[in-house]
Amino acid sequence: MPLITATGLTKRYGRSETLRGASADLRAGEILAVTGASGSGKSTLLRCLAGIVRPDEGAVAYGSERLDRLPEARLSELRRTDFGVMFQFGQLIPELTVLDNVALPLLLAGTARAEAQQRADAWLERFGVRGQAEMRPGELSGGQSQRAALARALNTEPKAVFADEPTGALDSLAGEQVMTALVHACRESGTAVLLITHDAQIAAYADREVWLRDGAVHCGATRFTVQEATRHEV
């Protein structure tokens, strides 16, 4: 069953139309890869489905709620509880330690500090950056920062994770290790994943793939191989 459904999304920034009638759905428990050339609207689609950006036209439904119509307070609550979000460059808070960055969503939701840090520590261990728990983000490599950001996105055990190029700062081996850990963790918990990627090898981890061109979704719910999607993109 669809967990989140987007219908007829249009988003404009000035005179530029980033999304043009895009429709897509994220199903409960699945991993969905969204691929496409740079500037095709992938990240904007992710932000609309995560309730970060409101479309100018169209609807985004999460259960009985319309994300495009919810007040910001409710959207913020959903991002603390039901949604985990990871941007391309991690966006960790530079003043906090890595451990506190990962624990932060739980702390904001009212979890006791000791429990929040214990859970954060377990996720850092899973992604291989427990040794950097007391460092500041500025002391991390790009790959370590990405792993910590993934740990933060998963720490609340959300219903959906939105990952924008989660392996973009990693070499191929580290990227495979992170994706394996991400897939395993989400399979265990039944968490859905919306994965933005330009890498065919990373897209191959997904159950399903959709492809964007000029702000419009192609392939829909049809299952395509990575090779087919790549041919369309070219």
pLDDT reported for residue 225: 37
pLDDT reported for residue 90: 62
Question: Distance from CA of residue 119 to its chain's centroid?
Answer: 20
Sheet with 83-86, edge to edge strand ranges? 83-86, 160-164, 192-196, 31-36, 208-213, 216-218
pLDDT reported for residue 213: 86
Distance CA 11, CA 45 (A): 9
Structural domain boundaries of the chain? 2-233
Q: Write out the two tokens for 69.
A: 């119509």
Domain 2-233 belongs in CATH node 3.60.15.10:
no
pLDDT reported for residue 24: 93
Nearest to 220 by CA among 49, 7, 1: 7
- Tell me the residue ranges of DSSP E strands in the chain: 2-13, 16-27, 31-36, 57-62, 65-66, 83-86, 160-164, 192-196, 208-213, 216-218
Nearest to 68 by CA among 83, 81, 51: 51
pLDDT in tens for each of the 234 residues of the chain?
Answer: 799 999 999 999 988 899 999 999 999 999 999 998 888 889 999 999 999 999 999 999 999 999 999 999 999 999 888 999 887 766 899 999 999 999 998 998 889 999 999 999 999 998 889 999 999 999 998 788 888 988 999 998 899 999 998 887 778 887 888 888 889 888 988 999 999 998 888 999 999 999 998 788 886 443 433 333 333 333
pLDDT reported for residue 42: 92
191 close to 158: Cβ distance less than 8 angstroms: yes
- Tell me the residue ranges of DSSP E strands in 56-181: 57-62, 65-66, 83-86, 160-164
